[in-house]
Structure 1
């Protein structure tokens, strides 16, 4: 039936839904900064790029427009919790801008903790390099350096503090810049680009949402350029610093292709998967892998993998097994009933936390919400809640929120919008 409709019909309906919900969210919440908007707008922009690129490049499969139905339906179910929580809180004022008072919010304590984590990271880097002779940044180095157990949790803690430092960095907190630069060394040692980009975006989104950084075209362009720089620097360290390659046109072509793959791979792969009739086996449980594996660890059950086993070729851009936020939920669940429930469950979680932000002037609650905003914004790539890290960094920020509530009272002055 979908083949009888013109491809542009799907795109037009999808764009209408996105922009209708975008402005409706503003009407019911009083701001454009909502979970649904952070989810839908980046995916929309990236998908438009993917569509243009796929039809302009002979080496990339054409985008399959009916695949947009997955997101059309998903956004509708995601919007239901938004509507519910907005009505539940309609008579309460949104304390949207947050101003830090003269008495600070555990800045010194978190600086000390960050320096301890950085010292541990530097020590491990020195140990791996000196014992193995491997070059910093190479694949072999990252495999040897791979953090597990307690070190893995310290790495997530450092990511949370990194986000906090990105928010705090200003003329009054100059040492935050040093912490950020030192932390980046350990983050690049791990070699996972998304876990460098995500903490940066969490802190930067917090600056925008709180009003610390003025929302403008420049403030939107800056994180985009920063993420591109993080991406390029990752491959510079991986290939050039490690001595495996030289700066050349070949290297630039390689990095460009990988960047386009990272940017549009999820949307293109989902379109191919839908066109082929969904190639994955039913994997609904895998959508809750982190929670299930915690129980399996406690009670001795078998470890569950969340990785998509199906890699699809997107032509010159290589192969990928990511399917975007909504796409992953759909191809894993494979029926509309499960899909609707799962999208509603996650939407409820995001909007429950978001609605609480309306009445909180705490920086860590703000960062926790911006953690959700970040992983939703990265939903153009994949469903990040397949990993424990996405839950853990939010949990750490919420624990820091509780600690600050216990240790400091009346820290913030609330500036009403």
Structure 2
């Protein structure tokens, strides 16, 4: 399908809109959206190339659905339209998403903050080689990780039944800018929020919204902060109120698997061994490891080499060396390892609707092992088993 040039809806020229994919000024609109009378902003694109690149997810908007879903990819604005027909894997549904939260201009930000496109990552040699970090880079990342840990702890302290994930996003956003940091997820690839909140069967990349957390839910909160030119990254899975024993066992097993992998990190270890260690531990409990997402290098870039798959018999190439920094972040499912993505293009959920848990740390390889840069602090709120 080709775009209509300089089309408009409700008297608003397309040139006053922003591209739904890259945030540039839009000059074209999807003719099918116009035909169906869908809101004007989702149908706007800057070029045929952007339209083609977004078509797989965009075309889902043309399908009717009984619910209302808010998408916020244009800064400062929200937009709503019917949820497309979709084979939901459980009763969980998306809810309204609040408008984009602003970051003060005085706070240093990564290049994608304005464009949504991480050009520095795409063009960097760090995507094909794993650098040994300098003392300055290590200290910068260490500080960013400490800031990220403190922000996650503030979010954790506010989790309870009735709180929306959008409220968690507000807490994270305000805590981040209060220390002069930029929330790394915000506008990364046009992600609309400052934190990822993944509830129940959501594996990762859940978009915070107006759905209140319910007694018995589990929720993963993934915090990343860009502080003084460096990124920190970590996440934890929390219980909401009274949670069933099976979900608690899933959560604890996931953290145990991460810790076993961390214990094995040292110079000379192959990256692919992390997947064997993690899979062996969770497999004994009858769980499976997600294969679509992996750990990654991090420092001045949000994502770079190496990639560290968490499943057994993976083909990751390379060995660990002193001075490297990367994350390990296993996602463990109670059922199948297979995942599907909601039509928002971000929310990854289990294919069978069963629950998923995740934990993540950022690690620095040392001469004899590793330093957990995002480790829990004495002031960190206790996890559920530490409260007993």
- Looking at CA atoms only, which structure, 1 or 2, has the larger radius of gyration? 1
TM-score normalised according to structure 1 size: 0.25
TM-score when scaled to structure 2?
Answer: 0.26
| Greater share of residues in strand | 2
Higher helix share: 1
